[in-house]
Structure 1
C-alpha cells in the first residue's frame, strides 16, 4: 500500500529494520562452533565464515560513504590491486580475512556495523550519502542494507520466528518492488495480501510473497518453475 505521502516505503523504518537484521545475524554468529562456521552458505563458494568476512569488509565502503571519502576508498582499492567492481571487492574482503581468527572478524564486524547503524540513524532518512553511484538518501541506502542483511541471514540459516516471518517477507517485498521501479526494470509488480502479480513483456505470473522476495535476491532454487525471463527481470537486490 502506498502511503498518503506518495512514498511507498514511508510506513517502514529502515533503521529499526537494520538493527533487527543485524541483531539476528549477531545471535546466529554468536552460537556457532567450528563446524557451523565452516558450513556452506547459500552464497556460491562461500562458507558461513566467509559471509561474516564479507559483511566485515563491506564496512570499509559503508564508512567511506558516511565519511564522504569515496575517492579515498577507490584509491585504497587501487593500492590493493582490487579490480572487478563490487564482485572483486567482495572477493578481496573474504580472502584477506580467511587467516584471521573468526572471533576477531566477528568483533570487527560488530564494532564497524554498530557505528554504521548509529551514524545513519543520526543523519536521518532524508540526508544524503556520497556513494560510488553518486549522492543517495540515507534512508534508501539503509533499505538496501536491510535487504542484504536479511538475505545473508537466510543464507547462513539464522532463525526467523514464525510470528515475524510474514511481516519480514512483506517489508522485503515492498523494498524490492520499490527498487525495481527505481532501476527501471522490465518487471512490473502488483502486491496483494498473499501474492505478487508480476508482468514482464506481456507475460504474467503470480508468486507467493516469499518466492517473489527470493527471486529479487537471486535465491530461488534451481528447480523452481519460474521462467528464466521472470527471474532475470526480477533480480534487483543481489
Structure 2
C-alpha cells in the first residue's frame, strides 16, 4: 500500500474541478480548423482528445454504478483487448459528432462524476483493479485531466498557476510510481527527484518526472530507454 502522505496538502476533488474548468473554457473558444490540430497524443487531433474525455466518462460511470464488468464485456465483444484499443473505440464512436455536442456530453458527464466522487470521499469504489479508494481515484482523474490539458496546449495563465500545477502533479507522479512500480527507488532531492531501477538511475526535474510518469517525455530526451519505459506508469 503506497504512502499518500505527500498528497495530503491538496484536495483532489478541487484539482479535478480546476482542471475540468480549464479544459471546458479552452474547448469553448475553439472554432473551425483548430479542432483538427494535432495533439500530443499520437494520431489524435484536439477533437479526438475531447472525444476520448467524453468516452472515458463511460468508465467513470461504470465505476460509480458498479458495472465495470458489464462495460468491459461490451467493449471486448467489439474487439477491445487492452487500454489502447478500449480508448480508440471510445474515440471512433464519437468521431462524426460535432465538437459542440462532444463538449456538452463531456461537460455533463464529467460534472456528475466530480460531484458523485466528492460525495463519496472516504469510501471505496469498484474499478478495473478491484475496490479502490475514491480519493485516490480522484487523484488519478485529476492527473488525467491535467495531462490532456497539456496535450492540447491549454494555456497556463500565470506563474502561480504553473508552480501550483507542477507541485501537485510531481507529488502525484511519485505516488503513482510507488503504487504501480514499487521496485523503482525514489528519493526527493532539492532540485528534483532521483530514481533508480534495474541498475539505471537518473535525477529528473519536476517537469521531466511528470512527463516520464505520464509517458510524455520527448523522443530525444537523454533518459535511457530502459528507465523511460520503467517510469511510464500513467497515460
TM bin, normalised by shorter chain, reads over 0.9
Counterpart Cα distance in 1 of 2:134 and 2:231: 24
More displaced 10-residue stretch of structure 1: 149-158 or 81-90: 81-90
In structure 2, the partner of 1:15 is 13
Q: Is 2:125 the counterpart of 1:143?
A: no
Tell me how far 1:6 sits from its aligned partner: 6.7
Q: 1:190 Cα deviation (Å)?
A: 1.6
Q: d(CA) in 2 for partners of 1:203 and 1:53? A: 38
* Conserved 8 A contact 1:61-1:73: yes
- Deviation of 1:189 after TM superposition, in Å, equals 1.6
State the match for 2:228 in structure 1.
231
- 2:56 paired with 1:58: yes
Aligned counterparts, 1:173-184, within 5 A: 173-184=170-181
| Counterparts of 2:30 and 2:205, CA distance in 1 | 32
Number of equivalenced pairs = 232
Equivalents in 1 of 2:52, 2:143: separation in Å?
15
Counterpart check, 1:128 vs 2:124: yes
Report the CA distance between 1:11 and its aligned residue: 1.8
Query: Which residue, 83, 90, 113 being the options, matches 2:80?
Result: 83
Q: TM-score, normalised by structure 2?
A: 0.93
Asked whether the 8 Å contact 1:64–1:70 carries over to 2, the reply is: yes
2:80·2:89 contact (CA, 8 Å) conserved in 1?
no
Runs of 5+ unmatched residues, structure 2:
none
Structure 2 counterpart of 1:69: 67
Q: Is the 8 A contact 1:196 1:208 kept in 2?
A: yes
**CA-atom RMSD, angstroms?**
1.6
Which of 200, 206, 211 lines up with 1:209 in the alignment? 206
* Structure 1: runs of 5 or more not aligned: none
Task: Give the Cα separation in 2 of the matches to 1:20 and 1:192.
Answer: 28
CA distance in 2, matches of 1:218, 1:6: 22
> Per the alignment, in what secondary structure is the counterpart of residue 84 of structure 1?
coil
